[in-house]
Amino acid sequence: MSKKAFFITGTDTGVGKTLVSAALLLAAKNRGLTTAALKPVAAGCDDTADGLRNEDALLLKSVITEALTYEQINPVALEPAIAPHIAAQQAKRSLSVDRLAGFCRGVLNTADFTLVEGAGGWRVPLNTTETLADLAKTLKLPVILVVGIRLGCINHALLTAEAIIRDGLQLAGWVANCVDPDMPFQQENIASLEQRLPARYLGVVPHLFDEVSPEAFVNVFPPQAIETLFSQ
């Protein structure tokens, strides 16, 4: 089985990209694969004795098999929980696709299965001319789309899928994450997305997790989801 890497994006911020990434990484581990993960830029970090730390990056670190340092997983950590390009401006730092791609290349191909998690949605700015979509394009990674299942998700998902494909990247699969447990006709919305999205449906994450812990993600995705990604 050849090594595979994917870029994880979402239909919006707060749709559970890290939750889905952790679940996929654990499914790959259960399949006997080595795993690695990156969150190249993270805004919303806590100031700790070890430096700025982001809870999403720490979760990714806790579930992968490879012994990566925190800085390898999250090379650019920004304290304010705001748009990354604005957080970087506030910290008098500059973000660029070339720099982030360099960080990523140091980790890519170290494991059988690697995920590179974006921030927010597909067109999140890094600076005045570049977005995180440009990072995925530079790295030439197939994309996994996390759809937050809530009112408006069909429109958001279809527009994001169109943008990914227009950018010349493969949409390798999509995941339904039930972020709103009270959404009416939840299954009907997921079925509508299955009919319309031009990618493999990898599975659904039910609204189960009030507190995030690695144990919560075991067996969310069956091994078939990983096999689907590796078959492409």
Pairing mode, strands 46-48 and 51-53: antiparallel
DSSP letter at 187?
A: H
Q: What is the domain partition of the chain in residue ranges? A: 4-230
> Mean pLDDT, to the nearest integer, of 49-55?
94
- For residue 182 the two structure tokens come to 């009270």
Among the options 4, 29, 39, 61, which is catalytic?
39
Give the integer Cα–Cα distance in Å for 60 and 74: 10
- For residue 81 the two structure tokens come to 């929980």
The pTM score is: 0.94
Q: Which residue has the higher pLDDT, 105 or 230?
A: 105
**Architecture of the structural domain at 4-230:** 3-Layer(aba) Sandwich (3.40)
Nearest residue to 80 (alpha-carbon basis) of 115, 41, 31, 127: 41
pLDDT digits (tens, 9 = 90+) for 105-132: 999 989 999 999 999 899 999 999 999 9
> Model confidence at 231, in pLDDT bands (50, 70, 90)?
confident
Q: Rounded to a whole number, what is the distance in angstroms from the first to the last CA of the chain?
A: 12
Hey, CA dihedral for 55, 58, 64, 66, is it positive or negative? Answer: positive
Catalytic (active site) residue 39: yes
Task: Confirm if 217 and 23 have CB atoms less than 8 A apart.
Answer: yes
